[in-house]
Amino acid sequence: MGSAHLSASFEAITLGVMVVIIVLDLLYVVRRPHVPSFREATTWAVFYITLGLIFGLVLAFVANWQVAGEFYAGFLTEKSLSVDNLFIFVIILARFRVPPRNQPEVLMIGIIIALVLRAVLIVLGAAAIERFSWVFYLFGAFLIYTAVRLVSGGHADEEEFKENALITLLRRFLPLHDEYDGARIRTVVDGRKLFTPMVVVILALGSTDLLFALDSIPAIYGLTQDPFIVFSTNLFALMGLRQLYFMLGGLLDRLVYLPYGLSFILAFIGVKLVLHALHENTLPFLNGGEHVAVPEIPIWLSLTVIVVTLAVTTVLSLTVGARKLLPAEHRHEIPHAEPSAPTEDARVVAVAEELADIDPPMTPRGPEA
């Protein structure tokens, strides 16, 4: 992707290895469709997070610690934002009543679609930044707006989780069947080939994640302008997201202050972007088109702020606000001993709806899981 600090061969090898890992993960869920236990999901989630941390060390070795610091700052930010997405995944899969044993495969395909769409956004963002330095003003203002919205109006707007135009169009023009046929996207009914609701669910996941990328990609461009680092942070953040989804029941009562931490991080990066835009200013109506003498925030300070904010958020969640969102009778529950999907836990769905600040999902077409 044209990194100034990394060779084309390193980028190609890295992306090749990541593609192999993603394909193997997809083959695993296709060949063994099942709901992972909390322990299994935790093991794989830790594996992917460790993989990201190791990759940062590799970047420090082949490039420098500045590049590694940019990756770590972006990785932590994107990973934290991806946790927020999980509540919406619960709502989508609950709304369409996807059978639990097929949810891992659906999530994996949806994540792959999201990666492809994010890659397009990243390339467009890099082109815009290269040609128009003032785009940093827009990115910064948007992140500050998003930060305010997070703490004042829930995790996102209601409109973001209604069926978007693409899904509505699919329902209108595609020959859709009302029932699932395992994880297949096409089935045969009375000699006719029809699409199953699975195709709608997969596209709903991918397109909804794209809406979230409108927040996260400006955030990562506030930490690095290297397109390869931007894409790799998104890639590592989305890897393991499927496993985190199945850990949601155990995470739900531990991360009650996460939105406030994310809000502060986004606001901080938004200010950083505005300062950078002022430093590189070319707008003729501002300071005569000349650069404005403002301090720029170094990457080490950005990384420190992100790490400290996430640490404080976690500590406060585990102490002051532990299990704040759960009814008293559930406050001493442990994660399910038997494997279960978050959509099978009524309290998880209820809290996800509360966090998203939307009306309960409509009863979808399709069979009960």
Reported as a single tens digit per residue, the pLDDT across 207-230 is: 777 777 777 788 888 888 888 898
Reported pTM = 0.76
Q: Residue 101: its pLDDT value, please?
A: 82
Tell me which H or E stretch contains 195: strand 192-195
The residue behind tokens 């390339």 is: 123
Asked if the structure places residue 310 within a domain, the reply is yes
Q: Between 352 and 141, where is the model more confident? A: 141
Residue 172 pLDDT > 70: yes
| H helices, E strands: number in the chain | 13, 2
Q: Residue 68: its pLDDT value, please?
A: 92
Residue 83 pLDDT > 50: yes
Three-class SS state of 188: strand
Q: What mean pLDDT, rounded, does the chain reach?
A: 77
Residue 126 pLDDT > 60: yes
150-164 pLDDT, tens digit per residue, is: 777 544 444 444 555
* Rounded CA separation 227/121 (Å): 11
Tell me which H or E stretch contains 276: helix 258-279
Q: Residue 160: its pLDDT value, please?
A: 45
The residue behind tokens 């003032």 is: 134
Q: Residue 353: its pLDDT value, please?
A: 66
Asked if the structure places residue 36 within a domain, the reply is yes
Residue 261 pLDDT > 70: yes
Q: Residue 72: its pLDDT value, please?
A: 93
Residue 66, both tokens: 């500045």
Three-class SS state of 282: coil
Least confident window among 14-18, 251-255, 335-339:
335-339
Q: How many domains does the chain have?
A: 1
The amino acid occupying position 19 is V
* Rounded CA separation 239/196 (Å): 26
The residue behind tokens 């404005």 is: 292
Residue 122, both tokens: 């990243």
Residue 80 pLDDT > 50: yes
* Rounded CA separation 89/251 (Å): 15
- Contact at 8 Å (CB) between 274 and 141? yes
Q: Residue 55: its pLDDT value, please?
A: 94
Confidence bin at 334 (pLDDT 50/70/90) = very low
Asked if the structure places residue 178 within a domain, the reply is yes
Three-class SS state of 227: helix
Q: Which domain holds residue 206?
A: 8-334+345-356
Q: What is the mean pLDDT of residues 117-143?
A: 81
The phi-psi region of residue 287 (left if phi > 0; otherwise alpha if psi is between -120 and 50; otherwise beta) is left
Instruction: Tell me the backbone φ, ψ of residue 320, rounded to 5 degrees.
Output: -65, -45
Q: Residue 57: its pLDDT value, please?
A: 95
Confidence bin at 322 (pLDDT 50/70/90) = low
Confidence bin at 360 (pLDDT 50/70/90) = very low
Q: What is the mean pLDDT of residues 113-132?
A: 81
Q: Residue 156: its pLDDT value, please?
A: 45
